[in-house]
A and B are shown apart, each in its own frame.
Chain A
Amino acid sequence: MTAQEWKSYGKFVRINNNDLFVIDTADDTSSKETIVIINGYPSTTYDYHRIIPILSDYYRVIIHDPFGFGFSDLPDTYCFSLMDQANVCIELWRKLNLKNFTILADGHGSKVAKEILYKKNANFISFNIKKLLICNSINNDIYSDLNTITSLIQNKKLVKYKDILMNYKSNHFYQLSEENNKYKDKEKIDRIWRKFNELENQKEALVLCCYNEESYLYWHRWMGALKETNVPVKIFWRKDDLSNIKNILLHIASNHHNNIEIIENKNCFVLDKEPINWLLMVLKELDQSIYHSYKYEFATA
């Protein structure tokens, strides 16, 4: 499927005076249960193009490109924050008139989902969330070509970079930086600077800066959201995903509730390599009867 074909499969919904690209496989009148997918950085709706047609046989599936990604607009005042993304999700679901649904959250999307869960606990929203599935289905290889940027982001002075990026006036900050000796090579500075000035890389850096900051500012809030909720939550983990193992351990350490189940993705399925196996793994936890019916269908096909 080409990107243009994918675009024709979806529609645009106006949110805060900008266009949001949304795939919605059914409408209000459908008798199917609804499942909303909150995708994580840096995936877009297109990463799900192999599984959505299958999933839509059983569910009304709704997924959107977050602002600034895929086919969605990049608003002027948008600050790429997870908090803002949660508000966009809520606004979209209100517009689509959703009442009752399951959330499937992926990667950074899981933090957006936890924020929504928090708002639900605090009675700010009236949706009924049936279930929450949290997974990390994107292979981390995708980050490897961003090494230059990520090494900068891991730097403690990231707020400074963000500010410079937002104004991108000069590259003096390298000379002023305490880590100056790292950048003695003048040509390297220019190269990094050129990379920064390409829109795509600026976005990368901005997004990751914001996410890092929010992850520690609101860590307690989001952990608390999982602790206090009555919604059944299932969390998938896999042994080759080190960053997530830390989160899983924290979940286990701080939660003793029956509604949270932690499931190992034993074969380390990821969405881009084994979409069908990945989907089967998710369906198994979502609905046993649908899982068996699709497994049978897939085996006979």
Chain B
Amino acid sequence: MNIINWKTKHQTIKLLGQRVSLIDTVVGEKIILVIHGYGMCSYDYHKVIDDLKFTYRMVIPDLVGFGLSSKPTNYYFSIIEQAEVLVNLLDELKIKEVSIIAQGFGASVLCELLSIISSGFSDIKINKIWLLNMSLSVELSPDKETQDGIVKYINDTFLKISSSFEMFKKYIRKSFHDEKSISDEELSVYWKLLNYDEGLKTLNFIHYWAVEIQQSSTKWLDSIKKTTAPIEIIWGIEASSGDDETPKRINDYLDIEKTHLIENCGYFPMLEKPSIFIDILKGV
């Protein structure tokens, strides 16, 4: 698949002054909204979407700054604004009830979304939540050193990733347990999506989001603790995932319904173990 084929699967909506590009499989009563991780996009789900669309209506937006959505290059587009865009998106699609898959940075956006709901700015009902790799890793760090370590790891990785396609390939492959799970062709699509519309410039603001997470983590952890939606964890636990301790911390902090730890899998369970990922979501 190339970027042009991928683009045809998308539709575009203008929300809060930004162009939001998304995949919506339209049919289905049970709806899943996917909030992808930092630097990634809806393309993460290209291997699983065709299977899942028979069980769920999948709504997978590219967050502002990533994929095919608009790329604010001269200012920081905050996590709060990401969540507001998603609330507006669900309103626009007339969705009242939804389940959510969130990964990494996306989990912070999810927490802010829950906080928007609990502050009475939206009446969307969240039915279920799946947290993927790196979710709440920064928020639930046991101490400042660990937190700084994670933030530094992410910032450094993105600095390297954005320098050239060769570096990009090298470091994305590193987040897989089996480096052959992702093809050169897929990596090239990722790279083009990251570069689309001068997208690399949005990475200039990468250090802001860590500040924002530190600023708001008390509020966010509080709002995810208060949500009544059942939460499940889906986590690739090999060293390549960058963090295999957080699932335990999430379990200590929240009431988790089920924890699915996937062996021989790195940061991207939906790319590396698509069939297991699909079975978990279908509840098999």
Residues of chain A touching chain B, judged by Cβ–Cβ distance below 8 Å, are 77, 79, 81, 83-84, 87, 90-91, 94, 119, 122, 124-125, 159-160, 162-164, 210, 213-214, 217-221
The reply to whether the CB of B283 lies closer than 8 angstroms to some CB of chain A is no
Contact B119 A122 (CB under 8 A): no
Interface of chain B residues 155 through 210 with chain A (CB within 8 A)? 208
Sampled A-B contacts (19; CB under 8 Å): A77-B218, A77-B222, A79-B218, A81-B215, A81-B216, A81-B219, A122-B84, A124-B84, A124-B116, A159-B211, A159-B214, A163-B144, A217-B76, A217-B208, A217-B212, A218-B78, A219-B75, A221-B78, A221-B80
Contact A79 B119 (CB under 8 A): no
Contact A221 B81 (CB under 8 A): yes
Query: Which residue of chain A has its CB nearest to the CB of B208?
Result: A217
Minimum distance in angstroms from A68 CB to a CB of chain B = 13
Minimum distance in angstroms from A18 CB to a CB of chain B = 13
Contact A84 B212 (CB under 8 A): no
Query: Could you tell me the distance between the alpha carbons of A274 and B78 in the complex, rounded to whole angstroms?
Result: 40
The reply to whether the CB of B95 lies closer than 8 angstroms to some CB of chain A is no
Contacts of A217 in B (CB 8 A): 76, 78, 208, 211-212, 215
Minimum distance in angstroms from B16 CB to a CB of chain A = 6
Contacts of A87 in B (CB 8 A): 119
Minimum distance in angstroms from A66 CB to a CB of chain B = 15
What does DSSP make chain B's interface, helix, strand, loop or mixed? helix
Query: Could you tell me the distance between the alpha carbons of A272 and B122 in the complex, rounded to whole angstroms?
Result: 40
Interface of chain B residues 8 through 61 with chain A (CB within 8 A)? 16
Query: Could you tell me the distance between the alpha carbons of A74 and B16 in the complex, rounded to whole angstroms?
Result: 34
Minimum distance in angstroms from A79 CB to a CB of chain B = 5
Interface of chain B residues 45 through 99 with chain A (CB within 8 A)? 75-76, 78, 80-81, 84, 88
Query: Could you tell me the distance between the alpha carbons of A168 and B78 in the complex, rounded to whole angstroms?
Result: 29
Contacts of B16 in A (CB 8 A): 122
Query: Which residue of chain B has its CB nearest to the CB of A228?
Result: B17
Contacts of A159 in B (CB 8 A): 211, 214
Query: Could you tell me the distance between the alpha carbons of A124 and B122 in the complex, rounded to whole angstroms?
Result: 8
Query: Could you tell me the distance between the alpha carbons of A122 and B214 in the complex, rounded to whole angstroms?
Result: 25
What does DSSP make chain A's interface, helix, strand, loop or mixed? helix
Query: Could you tell me the distance between the alpha carbons of A94 and B116 in the complex, rounded to whole angstroms?
Result: 15
Minimum distance in angstroms from B216 CB to a CB of chain A = 7
The answer, among A91, A162, A210, A219, for a CB contact under 8 Å with B119, is A91
A-B CB proximity, top 7 nearest? A220-B75, A124-B121, A79-B218, A163-B144, A77-B222, A87-B119, A213-B215
Contacts of B211 in A (CB 8 A): 159, 213, 217
Contact A77 B144 (CB under 8 A): no
Minimum distance in angstroms from B20 CB to a CB of chain A = 14
Contacts of B214 in A (CB 8 A): 159, 162-163
Given contacts A77-B222, A160-B144, 15 further A-B contacts (CB under 8 A): A77-B218, A77-B219, A79-B216, A81-B215, A90-B119, A94-B120, A122-B84, A159-B211, A159-B214, A163-B214, A213-B215, A214-B215, A217-B208, A217-B215, A221-B81
Contacts of A162 in B (CB 8 A): 214
Query: Could you tell me the distance between the alpha carbons of A213 and B218 in the complex, rounded to whole angstroms?
Result: 15
Query: Which residue of chain A has its CB nearest to the CB of B214?
Result: A159
Contacts of B218 in A (CB 8 A): 77, 79
Contacts of A84 in B (CB 8 A): 219
Contacts of A210 in B (CB 8 A): 215
Query: Which residue of chain B has its CB nearest to the CB of A218?
Result: B78
Contacts of B80 in A (CB 8 A): 83, 218, 221
Query: Could you tell me the distance between the alpha carbons of A294 and B214 in the complex, rounded to whole angstroms?
Result: 48
Query: Which residue of chain B has its CB nearest to the CB of A86?
Result: B119
Minimum distance in angstroms from A123 CB to a CB of chain B = 8
Minimum distance in angstroms from B219 CB to a CB of chain A = 6
Contacts of A220 in B (CB 8 A): 75-76
Query: Could you tell me the distance between the alpha carbons of A67 and B35 in the complex, rounded to whole angstroms?
Result: 33
Query: Could you tell me the distance between the alpha carbons of A210 and B215 in the complex, rounded to whole angstroms?
Result: 7
Q: A77-B218, A214-B215 are in contact. Are A125 and B121 (CB under 8 A)?
A: yes
Minimum distance in angstroms from A94 CB to a CB of chain B = 7
Contacts of B88 in A (CB 8 A): 122
Q: A160-B144, A217-B211, A221-B81 are in contact. Are A79 and B219 (CB under 8 A)?
A: yes
Query: Which residue of chain A has its CB nearest to the CB of B225?
Result: A77
Query: Could you tell me the distance between the alpha carbons of A30 and B76 in the complex, rounded to whole angstroms?
Result: 44
Query: Could you tell me the distance between the alpha carbons of A213 and B211 in the complex, rounded to whole angstroms?
Result: 8
Minimum distance in angstroms from B125 CB to a CB of chain A = 18
Query: Could you tell me the distance between the alpha carbons of A90 and B118 in the complex, rounded to whole angstroms?
Result: 13
Query: Could you tell me the distance between the alpha carbons of A83 and B218 in the complex, rounded to whole angstroms?
Result: 13
